[in-house]
Every structure is written in structure tokens, then in C-alpha cells.
Structure 1
């Protein structure tokens, strides 16, 4: 067995292992259709190696050569379908089908050219390079947030496209790719080509496996940090992400404010209208906070009827306006299941992070301001600035801060 034959056998085994690996990811989470397509791509790749092995057995090699080309290109395009599902892009089915058919026809007709003619070799390798560039475009054009792993994947796909495009030059440098298709596997070029292809196939597959596992773990973390009823962060998730937000704001020199809210007389809603209505109140207020908060803000249900919104990049005055707007808008909001004349209200406490403060300090001061709002009559906003419950006037003298409240 030649070195190329041995590497081809290894490639067949590796493709099977990679297909099994992606199937395992797909079985773990049946909603991840991308993993199933990626598994299919590597399974079809196994068929390519089988066809490649069979070529020396044919006296007239054009049909198996074209079949090998078409099967390998199909495997690469199926791989791109998996990428498209992973990165939220609609697969261009018709374009890919036309590309596969057109390039296969071209490869069939260039078989009449001299074996080492550059156009013939490019007709065989260029579609593979183009397919890798399509994969790169899919990752690049995704609207999903990309991190370092996604960028590395794009770099490896670009390098893989380059190695396909350069194979005609490599073949000439190594003495060609055989006098005929049957002799291909006996050449040095075949051994190098198959070896380099294996390296890229494994590198791309491992990157994608890590990316898929990353997504699974991120989703599991998100579920563990999400409150089931409200759909907002729970206390644990809020604290973890809030610490990150505080570090980012400190690094950028931005202010950070915290709003803590509590539904007024929530127990009366449960007692008078039932817990189902109480749940709807929580769901309504949660949705309201989620819509009012921006993408860079953190909204959470801390427990029971208590909520929090962290506002990075927002100073105390702006946070107070946010809380006051939320207070007045929610108080005018009808809630399904409650009498039309009944209005739920909420009280708010607001605090801005001071130099040297921790998240616990900030939450404590916002909570104390909330306590002042509840004690002062509810349905109002209180700001923690200076002494609890006081807001400085422009001249520096304190003034009461029962903003549009009942006290």
C-alpha cells in the first residue's frame, strides 16, 4: 500500500469519527439541526474516499473521477448547510445545486485536456476553494455575535480555500498528479494533498465542535440564570453579569446606576384575585421592564415581587428619569384578568455607583431608597444620593425626593 493509500484509509476513518462526533452533539440537543448537517457532510466525505479508492479498478476512469469530484464537493456544500444553520443564514439551496451540477459537468468535459494542463487542474480544485470561501462568507455575514473562535474558524476556512487553489502549483512542484487517474494514489502529490486535506478537515471540525459545545454550555448557563416565570435574569445571573458590567464600566470610565423596583400591595392581588392573576402581574411587569431596558442594560427578577435594572453608562439623573417613566407607564397599564378599574403600581429606588463601591454596596443603597419609597406611600421613586432619601439641589442643599409620589 502506497503512502497516499494509507493516508486515504486514515481519512476515511477520521471522517467517520467526525461524523459520529457531530451526531453525538445532535443527539444531546435535538434542536441543533446544524450538527446533523455537519455529520451528514462528513458522512458523505466518507463516500468520497471509498470512490477514490475504487478508481484504480476502472479501465475508463472518467466516470469515477467525476463521481469522486461531485461527492467531495457535495460533502463540502452540505457542510456549508450546517454552517448556515449554525449562524442563522438561510442555505442557498438552488445556487448550491446549480453550482454542483455546473462544476461537475465542467470537470467531465475537461477530462479531454492533457492530464497536467493547468486549466484541467484548476477546474478540479477551484470549486473546492469556492465552497470554502462560501463557508467563510456564511460565518462573516451572520448577525450573531462573533467571538475569537468564530474569527479563528474564518481564518482556517480562508487558509483551506487557499490550499485548494494552490494545489495545481503544488502538483507541478512535486512532479504532477500521475500519468492517469489510476496512478494518482502512487504520486508524492497525492500523499501531500491528502495529508494537508486531513489537517484542515480535522482543524475545521474541531473548531466547530468546540463552538457547538460552547453554545450548548452558554445555553445551559443562560437557563440556570433565567427566572422561569418572568423570563428575566434571576438573582444569581444578575449578580454575575452585573459584576462584569461594573468592571467594563470602570475600565471605560462610565457611570453605572441601579434601579430596584417592588410591586405595591402584591399580596392583595394574590389574595383577592388568585395566584394566576398574580403571575400575570409579574409577567406583565417583567415584559414591561425588558422592553424599557436597552440591550446594554440588565433586567432581573431578584425574587418574589422585587426587580432590578442595571444601567451601565447612565448617571443618577438619567436613571431617575428612567425609573419615573417606568413608574408612571406601568401604573397606567391594564392587566388581563384584573378589573379595568384596578391598576397595579410599583415603587422604585435608584442609586449611582460611587468610587470604591462594590455591587453589594450599590444594591444596598438602592434597596434603602426603595424602602424609603415604600415607607413614603408607594407608587413613587426615591433616589439614594447623600443621606438616604435625599437628593442634592444645584446649590448643594438637600431636598426631599418624593417625585410625583404620594408623600
Structure 2
């Protein structure tokens, strides 16, 4: 067995292992459609290696050569479909189908050219390079946040495209790719070409496996940190992210403020209108906080009807304005399932991080300010250093038929 045959056999085995690895990811989480496409791509790659092995058995090698080319190109295009599913891009189905058809016809037509002619070799290798560039475009054009692994993936895709485009030059430097298709696997070029294919196939597959596992773990972490009803961070998730925000603020010398809110007389909503309406109040207030909070802010449901918003880069005065705006706007929102005249309200406590203060100490001061707002009549904002003028109580009376406040 020649060195190229040995590498080809290894490629067949590796493609099978990679297909099984992606299928394992897909089986673990059936929503990972990308993993199924990637598994299919490497399974089709196995078929290419089988066809490549069989070429020496044919007296007229043009049909199996074209089939081998088309099968491998199909494998790379399926790989791109997997990338598209992973990165939220609609696969360019029509373009890829037309690309496959046109390039396969061209490869068939160039079989009559001299075997070592540059156009013939480029006709065979350029479509593979283009397919890798399509994959690069898919990752680049994604609106998902790109992290280091995604950038490395783009670099490897670009390098893979370059190695395909440079293969005609490599073949020329190594003395060609055989006098005929049957002799291809006996050449030094075949061994180098198949080895390069192994390196890049492994690199791309391992990168994508790590990226998929990263996404699975990130989603699992997110679920463990997310409150089911509100869709906001739960207390545990909030505390973990808030600790990071406090460290970043201290390192950068930026202010950090905390707003704690509590729905007023929430028990009366449940008692008078039912727990389903109570859940809708929670959902409405949560959605309101989510929309009001900035991208760098942390909004959480701490438990029951108590919520928190961490405001990195925000001083006490700005945090107070945020709380006042939230209090006023939420008090004007109608809640589905409640009487049209009924309005829910919330009380807010605000505190700014002091030098050397811990998260628990900051939360305690904000909670004390919230207690002051509750004790002072609800539907108001107070800061840890003292009360803020009460706003939004026409005629000094609570809004909402006597039910707008929590005990």
C-alpha cells in the first residue's frame, strides 16, 4: 500500500469518527440541527474516499473521477449548510445547487485537456476553495456575537481555501499528480494532498465540535441562571454576573448603582384576580425592565415580586432617574386580564457602590431604601442616602381601586 493509500484509509476512518461525534452532539440535543448537517457532511466525505479508492479499478476513469469530485464538493456544501444553521444564516440552496452542477460539468469537460495543464487542475481544485470561502462568508455575515473560537474558525476556513487553490502549484512542484487518474494514488502529490486534507478536516471538525459544546454549555448555564416566569436572571445568576460587574467597575474606576424594586400590594392582585393575573403582572413588569435596561445592565427577578437592576457605569443620580422613569411608566401600563382602570405600581430603592463595599452590603443598603419607600407609602423611589420626593400620586391617593400596592 502506497503512502497516499494509507492516508486515504486514515481519512476514511477519521471522517467516520467525526460523523459519529457530530451525531452524538445532535442526539444529546435534538435542537442542534447544525450538528446533524455536519455529521451528514462527514458521512458523505466517507463516500468520497471510497470512490477515490475505486478509481484504479476502472479502465475509463472519467466517470468515477467526476463522481469523486462531485461527492467531495457535496460534502463541503453540506458542511456549509451545517455552518449556516449554526450561525443563523439561510443556506444559499439555489446558488449551491447551481454551483455544484456547473462545476461538475466543467470538471467533466476538462478531462480531455492535458492531465498536467493548469486549467484542468484549477477546474478541479478551485470549486473546493470557493466552497470554503462560502463557509467563511457564512460565519462572517452572521449576526451572532463572534468570540475567539469563531474567529479562529474563519482563519482556518481561509487557510483551507488557500491550500485548495495552491494545490496545482504543489502538484507542479512535486512532479505532477500521475500520468493518469489510476496512477494518482502512487504520487508524492497524492500523499501531500491527502495529508493536507486530513489536517484541515480535523481542524475544522474539532473547532466546530468545541464551538457546539461551548454553545450547549452556555445554554445550560443560561437556563440555570434564568427565572422561568420572567425570563430575567434569577437570584443566583444575578449575583454571579453582578460580582463580575462590580469587579469591572472597580478596575475601570466607574460608578456602579443598584436598583431594587418590589411590586406594591401584589398579594391583593393574586387574591382578587387570581394567580394567572398575578403571573401576567410579573411578566409585564419583567418585560418592562428588560426593555428599559441597557445592554450592559443586569435585570433580575430576585424572588416573588422583588426585582433588581444593576447599572454599571451609572452614578446615584442617574440610577435614581432610571428608577423614577421606570416607576412612572410602569404605573401607567394596563395589565391584560385586569380591569382597564386598574394600575399596578412598584416601589424602588437605589444605592451606589461605595469604595470597598461588597455586593451583599450594596444589596442591603438598596433593600433598606426600598423598605423606606414601602414604609413611606409605596409607589415611590428612595435612595440609600435619604428619600426622594414622591411623584405620581394624584391627590395624594394610590392609583387603582385600592389594590395598587403590596402588603
Regarding TM over 0.5, the answer is yes
Instruction: Check conservation: 1:264, 1:345, Cα contact below 8 A.
Output: yes
Instruction: Check conservation: 2:265, 2:403, Cα contact below 8 A.
Output: no
Deviations 1:151-189 (A, max 9, x none): 111111111111111111111111111000000001111
Deviation (angstroms), 1:248: 2.5
Instruction: Check conservation: 1:2, 1:186, Cα contact below 8 A.
Output: yes
Question: What TM-score do the two structures reach when normalised by structure 2?
Answer: 0.94
- Counterpart Cα distance in 2 of 1:83 and 1:399: 53
- Counterpart Cα distance in 2 of 1:393 and 1:42: 66
Of the structure 1 ranges 381-390 and 154-163, higher mean CA displacement relative to structure 2 is found in 381-390
Deviation (angstroms), 1:402: 21
Q: 1:86 to 1:392 in 2, by over 3 A?
A: closer
Query: What residue in structure 2 maps to residue 162 of structure 1?
Result: 162
Question: What TM-score do the two structures reach when normalised by structure 1?
Answer: 0.94
- Counterpart Cα distance in 2 of 1:53 and 1:406: 76
Deviations 1:91-137 (A, max 9, x none): 10111111111111111111111111111111111111111111111
Instruction: Check conservation: 1:391, 1:399, Cα contact below 8 A.
Output: no
Deviation (angstroms), 1:270: 1.6
Secondary structure at 2:395's aligned position in 1? coil
Query: What residue in structure 2 maps to residue 401 of structure 1?
Result: 401
- Counterpart Cα distance in 2 of 1:98 and 1:316: 61
Q: 1:393 to 1:404 in 2, by over 3 A?
A: closer
Deviation (angstroms), 1:388: 11
Instruction: Check conservation: 1:18, 1:205, Cα contact below 8 A.
Output: yes
- Counterpart Cα distance in 2 of 1:302 and 1:163: 54
Deviations 1:28-51 (A, max 9, x none): 111111111101110110110011
Deviations 1:238-261 (A, max 9, x none): 111111222233333322111100
Of the structure 1 ranges 40-49 and 349-358, higher mean CA displacement relative to structure 2 is found in 349-358
Deviations 1:185-223 (A, max 9, x none): 011111111011101101100000000000001101111
Of the structure 1 ranges 394-403 and 16-25, higher mean CA displacement relative to structure 2 is found in 394-403
Unaligned runs of 5+ in 1: none
Deviations 1:343-366 (A, max 9, x none): 211000011112222212211111
Secondary structure at 2:396's aligned position in 1? coil
Deviation (angstroms), 1:22: 0.6
Q: 1:138 to 1:18 in 2, by over 3 A?
A: same
- Counterpart Cα distance in 1 of 2:216 and 2:59: 50
Instruction: Check conservation: 1:327, 1:380, Cα contact below 8 A.
Output: yes
Deviation (angstroms), 1:395: 31
- Counterpart Cα distance in 2 of 1:313 and 1:281: 29
Instruction: Check conservation: 2:341, 2:400, Cα contact below 8 A.
Output: no
For 1:1-400, list aligned pairs within 5 A: 1-385=1-385
Secondary structure at 2:307's aligned position in 1? strand
Q: CA RMSD of the aligned region, Å? A: 4.7
Deviation (angstroms), 1:397: 30
Deviation (angstroms), 1:390: 13
Q: 1:392 to 1:191 in 2, by over 3 A?
A: same
Q: 1:26 to 1:328 in 2, by over 3 A?
A: same
- Counterpart Cα distance in 2 of 1:157 and 1:378: 59
Q: 1:206 to 1:269 in 2, by over 3 A?
A: same
Deviation (angstroms), 1:394: 28
Instruction: Check conservation: 2:297, 2:311, Cα contact below 8 A.
Output: yes
Deviations 1:71-95 (A, max 9, x none): 1011001100100110011110111
Deviation (angstroms), 1:396: 29
- Counterpart Cα distance in 2 of 1:214 and 1:138: 19
- Counterpart Cα distance in 1 of 2:345 and 2:164: 65
In the alignment of these two chains, the number of paired residues is 407
Q: 1:208 to 1:365 in 2, by over 3 A?
A: same
Of the structure 1 ranges 105-114 and 251-260, higher mean CA displacement relative to structure 2 is found in 251-260
Instruction: Check conservation: 2:381, 2:387, Cα contact below 8 A.
Output: no
Secondary structure at 1:405's aligned position in 2? coil
Secondary structure at 1:377's aligned position in 2? coil
Q: 1:402 to 1:204 in 2, by over 3 A?
A: farther
Deviation (angstroms), 1:339: 2.0
Deviation (angstroms), 1:386: 7.3
- Counterpart Cα distance in 2 of 1:224 and 1:143: 25
Q: 1:404 to 1:45 in 2, by over 3 A?
A: closer
